[in-house]
Amino acid sequence: MVKQTQTFEGLVMSRQNYRESDMLVKILTDQFGKKMFLVNRARKPGFTLAAGILPFTHADYIGEVRDSGLSYLSAIKSPTQYRQISNDITLNAYAAYIFGLLDLAFPDERPVGFWFKQVKQALHLIDTGLDPQIIANVVEVQMLKAYGVEPNWRGCVIDGRTDLPLDFSESYGGLLCQQHWDKDPHRLHASPRAIFYLRRFSTLDLSQVKRIDVKPATKAELKRILDVIYADMVGVTPKAKRFIDQMNQWQDRLPDRTKSEDSSNNDRPHI
């Protein structure tokens, strides 16, 4: 077992109590993927590293990183917690869902490549007030490849056309143009607007996102389509997703006080 003292950037995914006064802290690292760290005496009053092991915290860490098994932290620099995420149940759920998607897609102790920066940026955008569902939808679309599912979003899978209306076909693993819709009677019947966003999400660099403006009806359709794709083509459901769905059901039972306001907004592709 190789032991190395390393300096690395990390995002705290979760933590749990361990033994009488210790904690196990799961951190997504920029170099080593997901690692589990044993933090001794973390539950003692006045623990000096406490700020750096809170959930949804970003920091630079120094510690003994082992190839397998538990690793150990010795110092933490510049910890910054995503406070809005930590204090808001909805934002917390979407951030946990993004972590959950990555957690199921990648084994522990395997580098995750560009996904560290993408997840970091996703959390930043959610924390600064941008629409958490749309940010999660971007992650969902792009994370499909990590699950071994890579739909063709470029154009019709049969003839490559993009000048005709497109729809998503699970059977064909991507988009079908209107000329070939008869080949899949079970296509998802997605609107042109939803297809536009899904294609856009597939290549979107989250670091370029400054504004999100998507109507509730389009958001509902994006959720429907991606729920079907993940249920039928991927087959995983992070725990946070079930909680998000429950929250949506609760909200659906509340009086809609914003319907007239929402209906007057234009659904503009600002993302």
- The domain spans of the chain are 3-81, 89-151+202-263
Q: For residue 262, what pLDDT is reported?
A: 45
Based on the number of CB atoms within 10 Å of its own CB, is 2 exposed (0-12), middle (13-18) or buried (19 or more)? exposed
166 close to 182: Cβ distance less than 8 angstroms:
no
Q: pTM (2 decimals)?
A: 0.91
Helix residue ranges per DSSP H, the chain: 83-87, 89-105, 115-127, 132-143, 192-201, 216-229, 239-252, 259-263
Which residues partner with 257 through β-bridges?
A: none
CA distance 125 to 209: 8
Cα distance between residue 225 and residue 170, in whole Å: 10
Residue 251: what pLDDT?
75
**Separation between Cα atoms, residue 187 and residue 160, nearest integer Å:** 17
Average of per-residue pLDDT across 97-123: 98
Q: What is the mean pLDDT of the chain?
A: 93
By mean pLDDT, which of 23-32, 145-154, 242-251 is the weakest? 242-251
Looking at residue 3, its pLDDT comes to 66
Instruction: State the average pLDDT over residues 262-268.
Output: 48
Digit-coded pLDDT (tens) for 208-237: 999 999 999 999 999 999 999 999 999 999
pLDDT at 90: 97
**Residue 236 corresponds to which amino acid?**
V
**Which residue reads 């808001």 in tokens?**
88
Query: Which fold does the domain 3-81 belong to in CATH?
Result: OB fold (Dihydrolipoamide Acetyltransferase, E2P) (2.40.50)
Residues 6+ apart with CB under 8 A from 25: 12, 14, 15, 36, 37, 39, 42, 53, 73
State pLDDT tens for residues 150-182.
999 999 999 999 999 999 999 999 999 999 999
